[in-house]
Structure 1
Amino acid sequence: MELELRHLRTVRAIAEAGSLTRAATALGLAQPALSAQLKRIERALGGVLFERGRHGVRATPLGELVLERTRVVLPAVTELQREAARFARTPRGPGHLRLGGTHGPLLGALLVRLADAAPDARVTTRTSWSERRLAALLAEGRLDFALAGTCGSAAPPGADGLVWREVAVDPVFVMLPARHPLSDATEIGLGELAGEDWACVPGDGCFGDCFTAACARAGFTPRHLYETDPTALVHLVQAGRAAGLCRATFPATDGVVTRPLTGTPLAWRHLLGWHAGSRHADTAGTVLAEARLAHAGVAARSDSYTRWPAAHRVP
């Protein structure tokens, strides 16, 4: 019998389970079938891999040698499979750039800047409310760059080989109907809105927990926090059903105003991510610079945001 990777996985499963019975259950096999397979593997390797006893199995010196090799070989093969899949999914044409992003105006602004800078390049986009999903798409080679974000100083979405760089940090503003009694305020204390219901766009980070903690520091517990898409969020605010939580760069909309929260209790960090092994990794510096310029352009179109840096002495 010629040794295969599945045989090494079987040996590892037996060692991890500590008994043939438990290993058979984990592998979905009958114990006699696993015992027969182990004997064939042992014949192929030229010796006994496990000593059987009343309390399970224990690796022999030969078994320890094989297990030591599996700790190197199996992860290496797994990584090879991932790299091959990433390579196969990457378009070979030099002029194709695939961008991903969450909700908000930054992805569109970056797309415009890249199109102006390289009008002959083909740029495609993909959106998701999930930062983790975007990270997975980068790791799988389905995206070249992704605009994601984190609440405050939280760690960016994790995956092996990903690189994240900060584009900008936005304060989180509150969105109110234009007729709200506090709509003319320069900034609003979170506690002044204790009686409101709330709405925000979805995400899979810690924003909801951070908001609840900020409310607790302000002396109240929010009654409701609706997670919805940006269009529905604006509708809820316009109808007076909720106060919205939005990034300071949220575009102006009829019937609503955005205002800073006193003390900036919440912030959102915009990030650009890519895989270190991407064919476009050498252009990351250029894309990052364009993303920062795109953010500056979006911020400049928000009257409430342009007043905020001056009031808080932000350069």
Structure 2
Amino acid sequence: MDLELRHLRIVCTIAASGSITKAAGELGIAQPALTAQLRRIERILGGPLFDRDHRGVRTTPLGDLVVTRAQLIMPAVAGLLDDAARLRGAGRTAVPDQVSIGSSTSSILAPLIRRLTESLPELTVGTTASWSADELALELGAGRLDFCVIGVCGGSGPPGDPGLEWRTFSVDPVFVLLPADHALAGQTEVTLADLADAQWAATPGDGCFETCFTQACVRAGFTPRSLYVADAASCIEMVASGTAVALCQATRVLPGLVTVPLKDVPLRWIHMIGWRPESSVAALADTFHRSVDRAHADLVGRSEVYSSWLAEHPAFGPAQDPAGPIGAAALHPITPTV
């Protein structure tokens, strides 16, 4: 991984605030995720950037060097981007004042709209929800949507027209959703085999999700008794009533229910954004991506279970190379989740 401008912003924010916790709040990132990112940055630069004690953090000599250079680099880059935007605006149609967003993950829509309109207060946002990433990709390719936020399963890559552009913004584990009074609800993690006698539920999805789940169970030594495929509300009701346990996104937080990590991460979920690179809103892609990152961080931050889990599993969560292909992130089977 190469050093990026966002890494310099992170280092400078931590140095200025003197606290990882305060910096996480300013950056809109969950504290465990920020700590994991700082570790990656320190690995890139070859040493610790901060000394930590009960009073907070202080820059090391290497940290002083990075902050000093960053304070020169960041204003120069900001000026370059401003000049490039003015030049681009002189020869191109202005970015529209409204966008339409399709999402297969309903929980991200509210924080995404909030984060996007914080960056662009005059922007009008329209939304479409669908469980089908393929359907949303078709709408995107046809020009009826400007951006998509989807989950993809397996190693098949993003859906739709190859002319669409896709970026991975997070790779999350699949957790299991249990009623609060379930015998395993207090565990820090469970195996699929621990739930071999359970009835299972999941929301619908494109592709091979039932096969992926079944294969993961077989590897754990059993064949699942059932997999009820239903809308999210029905899956939640099945869990609450004790009818089934459900596969769920790690960011899920629901009253009366608990999410528990699956040991060894047998199932993963890749989150992506997509758009048409030739569209009139393509200039908003980076702003949209940043807003999605912050919205996802908001969801992570409200889940104590996932935040704690991420601190021990830094390879997951926000994509290390957001602009890159899904690559190695898609090597394991993935199943759609509540």
TM norm structure 2: 0.64
- In the other structure, the counterpart of 2:283 is 282
Match of 1:259 in 2: 260
User: 1:160 & 1:186 partners in 2: Cα distance?
Assistant: 41
* CA distance 1:255–1:200, change in 2 (3 Å): same
CA-CA distance at 1:171 after TM superposition: 0.4
**Which blocks of at least 5 consecutive residues in structure 2 are unaligned?**
1-93, 317-338
Q: Deviations over 1:83-125 (max 9, x none)?
A: xxxxxxxxx9820111110133112221111122222111100
Any conservation in 2 of the 1:153–1:269 contact (CA below 8 Å)?
A: no
Q: Kindly indicate whether the alpha-carbon contact (under 8 Å) linking 1:171 and 1:247 is maintained by their aligned counterparts in 2.
A: yes
Look up the SS of the partner of 2:106 in the other structure: coil
Contact preservation (8 Å) 1:171, 1:248 = yes
Shift in alpha-carbon separation, 1:155–1:314, aligned structure 2, 3 A:
closer
Please tell me whether the aligned partners of residues 95 and 281 of structure 2 are also in contact (alpha carbons under 8 angstroms). Answer: no
Partners of 1:289 and 1:114 in 2: how far apart?
8
Determine the structure 1 residue equivalent to 2:180: 178
| C-alpha separation in 1, matches of 2:311 and 2:246 | 24
Q: Is contact 1:198-1:242 (8 Å) kept?
A: yes
The reply on whether 1:104 has 2:109 as its aligned counterpart is no
Partner of 2:89: none
More deviation, 293-302/101-110: 101-110
The residue type equivalent to 2:303 in the other structure is S
Comparing both chains, which one has the higher relative contact order based on Cα–Cα distances under 8 Å and sequence gaps of 6 or more? 2
Distance in 1 (CA, whole Å) between partners of 2:292 and 2:209 is 23
Instruction: State how far apart, in whole Å, the 2-side matches of 1:312 and 1:152 are.
Output: 20
Query: Residue 290 of structure 1 aligns to which amino acid in structure 2?
Result: S
| Equivalent residue in structure 1 for 2:222, among 217, 220, 223 | 220
Code of the residue aligned with 2:296 in structure 1: it is H
Note if 1:273 corresponds to 2:268. Answer: no
Shift of 1:313: 4.5
- Residue of 156, 160, 163 corresponding to 1:161: 163
User: One-letter code of the match for 1:305?
Assistant: Y
Match of 2:149 among 147, 152, 165: 147
Question: Cα RMSD (Å) of the superposition?
Answer: 1.6
Which runs of 4 or more aligned residues in structure 1 lie more than 6 Å from their structure 2 counterparts after TM superposition? none
In structure 2, give the amino acid aligned to 1:253: L
Relative to 1, partners in 2 of residues 1:309 and 1:160: Cα closer, same or farther, differing over 3 Å? closer
> What amino acid sits opposite 1:190 in the alignment?
L
Secondary structure of 1:241's partner? Answer: coil
Distance in 2 (CA, whole Å) between partners of 1:273 and 1:178 is: 37
Deviation sequence 1:229-266 (CA, Å, 0-9, x none): 1111111001000011011011x212210000000000
Cα distance in 1 for residues equivalent to 2:176 and 2:192: 9
Distance, in Å, in 2 between the alignment partners of 1:152 and 1:260 is: 19
Superposition pairs of residues 1-315 of structure 1, within 5 angstroms = 94-250=96-252, 252-314=253-315
**Which residue of structure 1 lines up, in the alignment, with residue 54 of structure 2?**
none
Aligned counterparts of 1:282 and 1:193: Cα–Cα separation in 2: 47
How far apart, in 1, do the equivalents of 2:156 and 2:294 lie? 24
How far did residue 314 of structure 1 move?
4.3
Whether the 8 Å CA contact 2:106–2:129 is kept in 1: the answer is: no
Q: State the SS of the aligned residue for 2:181.
A: coil
Tell me if the contact between 1:139 and 1:160 (Cα under 8 Å) persists in the aligned partners. no
Q: Which shows bigger deviation, 147-156 or 259-268?
A: 147-156
Partner of 1:4: none
Residue 137 of structure 2 aligns to which amino acid in structure 1? A
Where 1:220 maps in the other structure, the secondary structure is coil
Separation in structure 1 between the aligned mates of residue 103 and residue 285 of structure 2, nearest angstrom: 16
Q: Deviations over 1:145-190 (max 9, x none)?
A: 0001112543111214111100111100000111111110000011
Distance in 2 (CA, whole Å) between partners of 1:313 and 1:275 is 31
Q: Is the 8 A contact 2:141 2:160 kept in 1?
A: no
| SS of the residue 1:167 aligns to | strand
1:237 & 1:94 partners in 2: Cα distance? 43
* Identity in percent: 45
Letter in 2 for 1:278: S
CA contact 1:188–1:260 (8 Å) conserved in 2: yes
Give the whole-Å Cα distance in 2 for the aligned partners of 1:239 and 1:222.
19
In 1, Cα distance between equivalents of 2:172 and 2:314: 14
SS at 1:199 equivalent = strand
Match of 2:73 in 1: none
Residue-pair matches, total: 223
How far apart, in 1, do the equivalents of 2:279 and 2:95 lie? 13
